[in-house]
Structure 1
Amino acid sequence: MTHTLRPDPTFYPSPRLAMEAEPEHLCYTALLSPDRSRPDALAVVDLDPASPKYGSVLHRVDLPHKGDELHHFGWNACSSALSPLSGHAFLQRRYLIVPGMRSSRMYVFDTQPDPTQPRLVKTIEPDEILRKTGYSRPHTVHCGPEGIYVSTLGGRGADGTQGPPGIFLMDCQTFEVLGRWEIDRGPQERHYDFWWNLPRDYMVSSEWALPPQFENGIVPEDLLANRYGHALHFWNLRERRHVQSIDLGANHQMSLEIRPAHDPSREYGFVGVVVDTTNLEASVWTWYRENGKFHARKTATIPPEPAPADQLPPLLKGFGAVPPLVSDIDLSLDDKHLYVACWGTGELRQYDVSDPMKPELAGSVRIGGIARHEPHPTGRAFGGGPQMIEISRDGKRVYFTNSLYSTWDAQFYPDGIAGVQAMCKVNGSMDLDREFFVEFGADYGAHQVRLQGGDCSTDSYCYSSA
């Protein structure tokens, strides 16, 4: 591991300084084989409008195994390394840590010396993760001041239900699995996403499902019986201790992406809820801390859209409507705009969250959708709907892909979802970019996107914007 003599120039003390950085030139996109007939892959996409290869795949690295189901990968290090509590200020944003959610295997890619040609340099086998942590199904990777944090969705046993899932830590230089993060987990039994406020010393985590509830597709009986996750958990970060739970209500099924304010002086954030089983609507909640206690309030709702049964997959025919199915949310670095992916209805929404308690719908684009099948402005087909979102540091470009999880894709979009990455330009209004439309083909679903130099869901900041 080579050390620089100063912090990586893509580490930024504050969100505002990150916004002033040069635009991204590349991104890395996780591709998965929907039927597991071929290995998953990592694609490198050209994002430079001045390049003759703009919007095309520059390189693809196929993994050595089949059936990994790549998901939410991240960097070995990011702006959190500038924490005054960190001994790691001279790391580089160099390695991509890529979890296989179905296989429980993890991969480490080196993006140097040529960022367009990432190389697989380490494979972490599932038995190592299980032996050292008791966890399986690694899901989300975040770079913290002292190491790499990985959330999981399963425990021990063939079906991952022996013991609760949680978070484990990896060394950010050797990539050794160190062990469980939690010292006192309290009542937390399910997991999904997590984020933190470093100076304020707390973590927030959310809940999706246990492996039998997602690996072979959504389980309608469990959904209608409100057996998916519906709570937020709050933790003391330094003490690694559970301090509070907030149940959003059993009807608010699947509390997924956690997006805290980027400015660490602001003690609030957002979480997206996939579906309300009483009315099929989706919602966004604002959580916040006041007088030492955490609270959460539903601040935006998105209604289902009626549709004739012949336009619906078998799963939804009895409902006569398409639920929005909010699968991802992402917050711009200035904490002003929250983007909400409605994977079911095929809509990407932009909310003005200048007042986090009163999100106001500020923009919307339509593409894909279970019933609408809205094409791209170029006329090209877009299967699925907006799913994983990634915002450029300057807030002017919002990239998104269209696959949620292979077995769920097949249930909600039985015709298949050919992997696509598209982009909206934000300049007062939000509009789909006609020039940018990356097709990965019918053999691949497209999931997480990571922008070169960091983006709005990779980095956490230790200093407020001046």
Structure 2
Amino acid sequence: MNLRPDPTFHASPKLAMQAPVETIAYTLLLSPDGSRPDGLAVVDVNPKSDSYGKILHTVMMPNKGDEFHHFGWNACSSALSPLSGHAFLERRYLIIPGIRSSRIYVIDVKEPLKASIHKIIEPEEVFAKTGYSRPHTIHCGPEGIYVSTLGGGGQDGTDGPPGIFIMDCQTFDIIGRYEMDRGIQDKHYDFWWNLPRDYMVSSEWALPPQFENGLVAEDLLSNKYGHAIHFWDLRGRKNVQTIDLGENHQMALEIRPAHDPVKEYGFCGVVVDTTNLQGAIFTWWRDKDGTWQARKTITIDPAPADPEDLPELLKGFSAVPPLVTDIDLSLDDRYLYVSCWGLGEMHQYDVSDPMNPTLAGKVKIGGIVARTPHPNGKPFGYGPQMVEISRDGKRVYWTNSLYSTWDDQFYPGDRGAAMVMAHVGENGGLTLAEDFWVDFPEGYRSHQIRLEGGDCSTDSFCYPSA
């Protein structure tokens, strides 16, 4: 434990933007067929370095079949909450959940080039202490580590609804379930919060039988995937309101609240509208009477395509849906980045007015039909997927794999792992960096990125920006 707060903890988003820029990125490696262990790659993102864009170190796990997904820190700026009592923690450990194995790894990255396994939490402990399975997303909260899950109990994860559990941020022991009253919430995906305002928002994807072996087309066309967002009393640990986005808005995924805690709004990405194949972004906000509202503020159209160029799943539609699979918000709450995994596009929206976003920039790379190469000439397999933004908002990184079985459905054949970066213009706009391209080990795919010292989907802030 430090005697002073970790220097990578920041009271406000504005202070975080002024912090030193990242020189290291941590990126997940996953073996799509489970034939090899998953791993963590330590990537050099310092443009002044001779090893810029290279993998400097890897930590490979002792088990196979984990399928790493959304990982996070043991502690972050939320530790500065006046209610936490944890202000002197270190941002030292990465918590990596295996979505397929329900196993959790704690990786010590105090010395990034000597990163190593600190602790392994076996699935039996997760099941016994929470009744949940398929851990998915990690968020560092002021009093512990919050872990969202995609499965309940039982072999297929449908014995009871999934939810959130909490781990001790120092011992990494599992403490127990978060929810005291979940209301009608019966599926889970992402979650995030506003700490001073004392609320949390969560979203829905699907239950394990609907995603583990690939997209179930019958369920999608019957609108059986998640399509609601849930609002919670954070400290009371109870669901206070649920908003159904409409059953045609299938797969409500990433939750991105405004970073400045004074603001009471945020965004949720929807993968596909089954009535027209559009992707969508909803803006949600709290009215003065305390009730929550949500409105669709961005739509992204599908692209017509020859059925011969489409995977089996899409041939009958003669079109490529955008497939909005990830979104991320810059720390100044100005730009929202939207991954259109199907089209092969990364969109940048100016959301200074969150109710009236405008398209500010776009990069085309990869895509089911377009297959746009990187400016360096290399093919970019799949499409833009997990996106991460530097704290100063000047660089946007992304990888290309969604989930092994879904990759195989929408992009048959192994397309290889990739990680790229785009520069952000002074007044918006995106330009891919020709000199940044990460080569990953053959046979692996790449998923989420974490940046040294925190990033835009890691930290939650306790104090307003001055």
TM-score range, shorter chain: over 0.9
In the other structure, the counterpart of 2:435 is 435
Q: What is the distance in 2 between the residues matched to 1:317 and 1:441?
A: 32
Q: What is the distance in 1 between the residues matched to 2:174 and 2:193?
A: 21
Match of 2:253 among 231, 247, 256: 256
Alignment check: 8 A CA contact 1:105 1:126 kept: yes
Within 5 Å, which residues of 2 pair with 1:50-449?
50-112=48-110, 114-290=111-287, 291-428=289-426, 429-449=429-449
If the length of structure 1 is used for normalisation, what is the TM-score?
Answer: 0.99
Shift of 1:415: 2.3
In the other structure, the counterpart of 2:35 is 37
Shift of 1:306: 0.5
Q: What is the Cα-based RMSD across aligned positions, in Å?
A: 0.6
Q: Deviations over 1:138-197 (max 9, x none)?
A: 000000000000000001111000000000000000000000000011100000000000
SS for the counterpart of 1:437 is coil
Amino acid at match of 1:132: K
In the other structure, the counterpart of 1:462 is 462
Within 5 Å, which residues of 2 pair with 1:3-42?
3-42=1-40
Shift of 1:116: 2.0
Q: What is the distance in 1 between the residues matched to 2:306 and 2:193?
A: 43
**Runs of 4+ deviating beyond 3 Å:** none
SS for the counterpart of 2:90 is coil
Amino acid at match of 2:303: E
Shift of 1:59: 0.8
Q: Identify the range of structure 1 (304-313 vs 266-275) with the bigger mean alpha-carbon deviation.
A: 304-313
If the length of structure 2 is used for normalisation, what is the TM-score?
Answer: 0.99
Alignment check: 8 A CA contact 1:15 1:465 kept: yes
Amino acid at match of 1:72: H
Q: What is the distance in 1 between the residues matched to 2:376 and 2:182?
A: 50
Q: Identify the range of structure 1 (290-299 vs 115-124) with the bigger mean alpha-carbon deviation.
A: 115-124
Alignment check: 8 A CA contact 1:417 1:442 kept: no
Q: What is the distance in 2 between the residues matched to 1:103 and 1:86?
A: 32
Q: What is the distance in 2 between the residues matched to 1:288 and 1:416?
A: 41
SS for the counterpart of 1:64 is coil
Q: What is the distance in 2 between the residues matched to 1:23 and 1:412?
A: 36
SS for the counterpart of 2:126 is helix
SS for the counterpart of 1:299 is strand
Amino acid at match of 2:283: T
Shift of 1:439: 1.8
SS for the counterpart of 1:271 is strand
Q: What is the distance in 1 between the residues matched to 2:273 and 2:441?
A: 33
Q: Deviations over 1:381-439 (max 9, x none)?
A: 10000000000000000000000000000000002231110011012331000010102
SS for the counterpart of 1:407 is helix
Q: What is the distance in 2 between the residues matched to 1:280 and 1:442?
A: 33
Q: What is the distance in 2 between the residues matched to 1:416 and 1:249?
A: 35
Higher strand share: 1
Q: What is the distance in 1 between the residues matched to 2:39 and 2:5?
A: 30
Amino acid at match of 1:430: L
Amino acid at match of 1:153: L
SS for the counterpart of 1:315 is helix
The percentage of aligned residue pairs carrying the same residue is 69
Alignment check: 8 A CA contact 1:403 1:417 kept: no
SS for the counterpart of 2:313 is coil
Amino acid at match of 2:367: G
Amino acid at match of 2:104: M
In the other structure, the counterpart of 2:450 is 450
Q: Deviations over 1:101-139 (max 9, x none)?
A: 000000000012x22221101000011011000000000
Amino acid at match of 2:99: M
Q: What is the distance in 2 between the residues matched to 1:393 and 1:431?
A: 18
SS for the counterpart of 2:62 is strand
Shift of 1:4: 1.0
Shift of 1:199: 0.3
Shift of 1:441: 4.0
Q: What is the distance in 1 between the residues matched to 2:399 and 2:72?
A: 16
Q: What is the distance in 1 between the residues matched to 2:299 and 2:113?
A: 40
Q: What is the distance in 1 between the residues matched to 2:160 and 2:419?
A: 37
Shift of 1:61: 1.0
Q: What is the distance in 1 between the residues matched to 2:274 and 2:442?
A: 32
Q: What is the distance in 2 between the residues matched to 1:53 and 1:117?
A: 17
Q: What is the distance in 2 between the residues matched to 1:416 and 1:338?
A: 30
Q: What is the distance in 2 between the residues matched to 1:336 and 1:126?
A: 40
Which residues of structure 1 form unaligned runs of 5+?
A: none
Alignment check: 8 A CA contact 1:384 1:413 kept: yes
